[in-house]
Amino acid sequence: MAPAQSEQFGPLLHGVARAWRLKLDQRLKPLGLSQAKWRTLLHLYRAQGDLTQSEIASHLGIEEPTLVSLLHRLERAGWVARKTAPHDRRCKTVHLGKRAQVAIEQINATAVNLREELLSDIPPSELNRCMEVLERIRQKAETVDKISKPKGGSNHLNSNGATNGHVRSKGGGRE
């Protein structure tokens, strides 16, 4: 991939995911579900077994205190119930409440309809190839254990506020 293309990849990937979530969020608003709420409920629904608050926060990519606040709101509204974990009294497991179990069908149907709408004009072979590439990138990102330095040297700022051995002039430019 040419440098200009590779530099656009991250923002494009982020933009697609964000636009997709916002569109789904828009369609789920009538159910009284924000993006944070429907993502949490869907994650609980798809989970294999009971999940602790810590596991949910990790899977959703949010901090545990943020999740605890969200779970308080979901519990008060009848979407979830928290129970003491049998393996550790300090942990809470989170379960879908009756209200959520009914709404999950609507959430899933809305998500399926949106997915079909957004992907309908993409040939299956292209979609499969795209998914294969994204899966390879995801696996690589999850296994990389150290950040590699960018080509051309270090990206650390020196005492002059410059990078890669360049010195900043008083006007802010590099010399």
Query: Is 153 inside a domain boundary?
Result: no
10 within domain boundaries: no
What pLDDT shows up at residue 130? 96
pLDDT band at 167 (very low <50, low <70, confident <90, very high): very low
With respect to residue 83, please indicate whether it lies within any of the assigned structural domains: yes
pTM here is 0.67
How many Å apart are CA 51 and CA 85, to the nearest integer? 9
User: What mean pLDDT do residues 19-43 have?
Assistant: 91
pLDDT band of residue 174 (cuts 50, 70, 90) is: very low
Q: What does the pLDDT look like over 99-142, one tens digit per residue?
A: 898 889 999 999 999 999 999 999 999 999 999 999 999 999 98
Does 111 map to a domain? Answer: yes
Assigned domain for 162 exists: no
Residue ranges in the chain assigned as alpha helix (H): 3-28, 35-46, 53-60, 64-76, 98-119, 124-143
Q: Which residues contact 7 (CB under 8 A, 6 or more apart)?
A: none
- Asked if 154 contacts 163 with a C-beta cutoff of 8 angstroms, the reply is yes
Residue 63 has a pLDDT of 93
Residue 175 lies in a domain: no
- Total tally of structural domains belonging to the chain: 1
CATH code, 27: 1.10.10.10
Task: Locate 2 and state its tokens.
Answer: 């040419």
Residue 98, pLDDT score = 86
Measured CA to CA, the distance from residue 140 to residue 66 in angstroms comes to: 28
- Flag whether 46 is in a domain: yes
pLDDT computed for residue 4 by the predictor: 75
Give the residue-averaged pLDDT of 137-150. Answer: 76
- Per-residue pLDDT, averaged over 21-40, amounts to 90
pLDDT range class, residue 20, cuts 50, 70, 90: very high
Q: Is residue 36 part of a domain?
A: yes
| Residue span of the structural domain in which 30 resides | 15-138
pLDDT at 164 exceeding the cut of 80: no
Question: Residues with Cβ < 8 Å from 160, sequence gap 6 or more?
Answer: 167, 168
Per-residue model confidence as pLDDT tens digits over 48-104: 788 989 899 998 989 999 999 999 999 999 999 999 888 888 888 999 988 898 889
